[in-house]
Chains A and B, each alone.
Chain A
């Protein structure tokens, strides 16, 4: 019975946004939309594989409140992201920007793809050449001649 209650509790527990969050601006749908949009884009640094929107860590809550306050001051998405990147670094962004230190991260998969395609095409071409240069055995020549005769 106890377990049933625990399971029920887990099933029906609400989303990570807890009741302690500043409720002041919740009735402003434009600001809330901006907060949820940004919370999806930003990483919770305590539980690193969750976004701020997913996490119920106290820090994530504080950061959502911080974003909400900045949004209320009419700051743009970019300004708010810059504000947090200045404090927590690029790691706070779920989509790291393209720059020298992240070039390998962004370009790496494509470089590997091109290398792989080159490798395969070299292999295939070499095999083609090998097969083409192979002389026919007398038996194969005879079969070929027969086939050609049938065609006619």
Chain B
């Protein structure tokens, strides 16, 4: 019995190590979004290429689409841009961009420098209000929206080929078959 008591601090220590190890693997910047499973918040915003035209979330009903929040001032967006270009070239899924708190000329120049425009269209959210509705806090963010207009997945931070192959593409295929 006495021997068992000696093991108590050791057991407590191991439990603590377990918690700390789990904490190390957990990125505190990836806050689970309450929006997954909820309808994509409505927006009707001017398009980046032609501000006379608008694009709305409702207009995308009936198809699976990606909603990608980007900005010319956002460094990780540069990192994910080639991945988006590849995905766009595959024509698997339309990508709607939202240019977040940016200036139009800078955004257009950025697309040109980055090697092209992967978006079906980008809309401008200059004031960041639609961003708040979507719970945006760290650009880039990507949402997968299903045919019924429900958000099914949210990616915080840049998309990588690995995330695309392992998570996004299987989900998109599944949603397209629905």
Chain A residues near B (Cβ < 8 Å): 45-46, 48, 58-59, 62-63, 66, 85-91, 119, 123
Residue of B nearest to A66 (CB): B132
Partner of A89, one of B131, B132, B134, B135: B135
Cβ–Cβ < 8 Å partners of A45 in chain B: 31, 137-138
In Å, the complex CA distance between A63 and B131 comes to 10
Is A87 within 8 A of B138, CB to CB? no
- What residues of B have a CB within 8 angstroms of the CB of A59 in the complex? 128, 137
Which residues of A sit under 8 angstroms from B29, Cβ to Cβ?
48
Summarize B's interface: helix, strand, loop or mixed: loop
CB of B132 within 8 A of CB of A85, answer no
B34–A85 CB distance below 8 A:
yes
- Can you give 13 A-B contacts (C-beta < 8 A)? A45-B137, A48-B29, A58-B101, A59-B128, A62-B127, A62-B131, A63-B132, A66-B132, A87-B132, A88-B31, A88-B34, A91-B31, A123-B5
B33 close to A (CB within 8 Å): yes
Q: Which residue of B lies closest to A63 (CB)?
A: B132
Contact across chains for A89 and B32 when beta carbons are under 8 A apart: yes
The 8 closest A-B pairs by CB, nearest first: A45-B137, A87-B135, A89-B34, A91-B31, A62-B128, A88-B135, A59-B137, A66-B132
Nearest chain B CB to A101's CB is how many angstroms away?
10
Closest to B1 in A: A126
B49 close to A (CB within 8 Å):
no
Report B14-34 CB contacts with A as 1/0, cut-off 8 Å.
000000000000001101111
Contact of B31 among A58, A66, A89 (CB under 8 A): A89
- CB of A119, distance to nearest CB on chain B (Å): 7
Question: Quick check: is B177 within 8 A (CB to CB) of the other chain?
Answer: no
Chief secondary structure at chain A's binding surface: helix
Q: Which chain B residues numbered 116 to 160 have a C-beta less than 8 Å away from chain A?
A: 127-129, 131-135, 137-138
Which residue on B lies nearest to A90, using beta carbons? B34
Nearest CB to that of B101 among chain A residues?
A58
Residue of chain A at shortest CB distance from B28: A48
Tell whether, in the assembled complex, residue B137 and residue A46 are in contact, meaning their CB atoms are under 8 Å apart.
yes
**B31 nearest CB neighbor, chain A only:** A91
Q: What residue in chain B is nearest A86 (Cβ atoms)?
A: B34
Residues in A with CB closer than 8 Å to B101 are 58
Min CB distance, A152 to chain B, in Å? 41
Q: Is B134 a contact of A87 with CB atoms below 8 Å?
A: yes
For A123, what are the chain B residues with a Cβ–Cβ distance below 8 Å?
5
Q: For the complex, is B10 an interface residue (Cβ under 8 Å from A)?
A: no
CA distance A25 to B115 in the complex (A): 44
How many angstroms from the CA of A139 to the CA of B128 in the assembled complex? 87
By beta carbon, the residue of chain B nearest A122 is: B5
Is B93 part of the contact surface with A, judged by Cβ < 8 Å? Answer: no
Q: Flag if A46 contacts B35 (CB, 8 Å).
A: no
Residue among B5, B132, B133 with the highest chain A CB neighbour number at 10 A: B132
Q: Which residues of A contact B35 (CB under 8 A)?
A: 87
Residues of B within 8 A of A88 (CB): 31, 34, 135, 137
Closest residue of chain B to A62 (Cβ to Cβ) is B128
